[in-house]
Structure 1
Amino acid sequence: MTRTPKDLADRMAARRRQASADDGYAHETFTQPRDQARETARAFLKRWPAEAYMSQVESWHETPGGEIEFTMKRLRSAD
């Protein structure tokens, strides 16, 4: 039973982690300067082409320090 908002948030976060672990994709998160982030994303997509592995930038945002934090995903069948 949920007693506080934090309990609810913790439970929802645990479910989200479980769901992403079972979604069939490999997820990799990076935090890099903007130019390096572009190079990393391009290299990732070159290594695992979107056409074959459904690779993509899953999410990204700019950190307060000006770096880009982004998550790439691809099908695990590539492993």
Structure 2
Amino acid sequence: MSRLPPPPLENLRRHLRARKNRAGARDSFLRETFTLPRGEARLKAREWFERYPKAAYWTEVESWRVLPGDEVEFTMRRLPSAD
């Protein structure tokens, strides 16, 4: 019984790259990630909400996690303009 070689993965790679590019094109949010001590992180988030009000820019904390040393890594997300 003969064994077939594994299928080439280039088509899969091409498909995944195209899908990633399409997904990025649909999302018009601007994101910025910060790593700050807890108190400074709160101030930075408040600054974003004051500068880009949630009602106009859909501003939000997209994700966050607490790191060792009481630092917080978080990503802020907003629309580029308030149309």
Task: Verify same fold: TM over 0.5.
Answer: yes
Q: Say if 2:72 is the partner of 1:68.
A: yes
**Larger gyration radius, structure 1 or structure 2:** 2
TM-score by length of 1: 0.72
What is the CA-CA distance between 1:21 and the residue it aligns to? 6.0
How many pairs align?
68
- Greater helix proportion: 1
Instruction: Flag as ranges the 4+ runs of structure 1 deviating above 2 A.
Output: 18-22
2:25 equivalent to 1:28: no
**1:24 match: secondary structure:** coil
Segment of structure 1 superposing worse, 68-77 or 57-66: 57-66
Aligned Cα RMSD in Å? 2.4
Change (3 A) 1:45 1:76: same
What TM-score do you get using the length of structure 2 for normalisation? 0.69
5+ residue gaps, structure 1: 3-7
